[in-house]
């Protein structure tokens, strides 16, 4: 399955079934880049997208009028196809903590920035597992574009 196939599947299946697409294991080059920029080791992680993250990005960041009001640029289906290239060839990587909905715990995320006519940000949640046989993952959380560089 390709990322195009997965995005098509997400648009067709609007029920609450969890769909996951593993893009690729983290390469040695990406793991070393992230470690050099953030001090965090992600060797052995899988880069993943799921339907919840894709839906969030489309529902929250694809309306041109709403995005313009926030100083952002609407994302398109073509932007979603760029997710792998942004993750594996970022211009900048930021490590951040984000509060979860219950406000008691925090998500750890990497924000991958790519500059192409505007600033494109892909937010990947770091999911570590302790169960034998399970993979640690970088899971797509959202994507957005801005005209000016964001500070986090």
b (16+ CB within 10 A) / e for 95-131: eeeeeeeeeeeebebbbbbbeeeebbbbbbbbbeeee
User: Given this model, what pLDDT does residue 97 score?
Assistant: 81
Give which of 109, 117, 104 is closest to 143, Cα–Cα.
109
The answer, as to whether pTM is greater than 0.85, is yes
Q: What is the pLDDT along the chain (152 residues), one digit of tens a residue?
A: 899 999 999 988 888 899 999 999 999 999 999 999 999 999 999 999 999 999 999 999 999 999 999 889 999 999 999 999 999 999 999 999 865 555 556 688 999 999 998 999 999 999 988 887 788 999 999 999 999 998 87
Assess contact for 67 and 74: CB atoms under 8 A.
yes
pLDDT score for 99: 59
- Check if the beta carbon of residue 141 is closer than 8 Å to that of residue 72: no
137, β-bridge pairs: 46, 127
pLDDT at 54: 95
């Amino acid at each position: 399955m390709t990322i195009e196939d997965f995005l098509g599947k997400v648009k067709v299946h609007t029920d609450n079934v969890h769909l996951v697409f593993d893009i690729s294991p983290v390469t040695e080059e990406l793991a070393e880049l992230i470690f050099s920029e953030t001090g965090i080791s992600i060797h052995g992680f899988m880069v993943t997208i799921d339907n919840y993250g894709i839906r969030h990005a489309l529902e929250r960041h694809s309306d041109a009028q709403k995005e313009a009001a926030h100083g952002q640029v609407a994302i398109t289906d073509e932007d979603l196809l760029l997710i792998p290239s942004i993750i594996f060839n970022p211009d900048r990587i930021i490590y951040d903590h984000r509060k979860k909905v219950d406000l008691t715990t925090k998500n750890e995320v990497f924000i991958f920035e790519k500059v192409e006519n505007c600033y494109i940000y892909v937010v990947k949640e770091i999911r570590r597992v302790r169960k034998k046989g399970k993979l640690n993952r970088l899971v797509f959380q959202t994507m957005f574009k801005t005209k000016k560089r964001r500070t986090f």
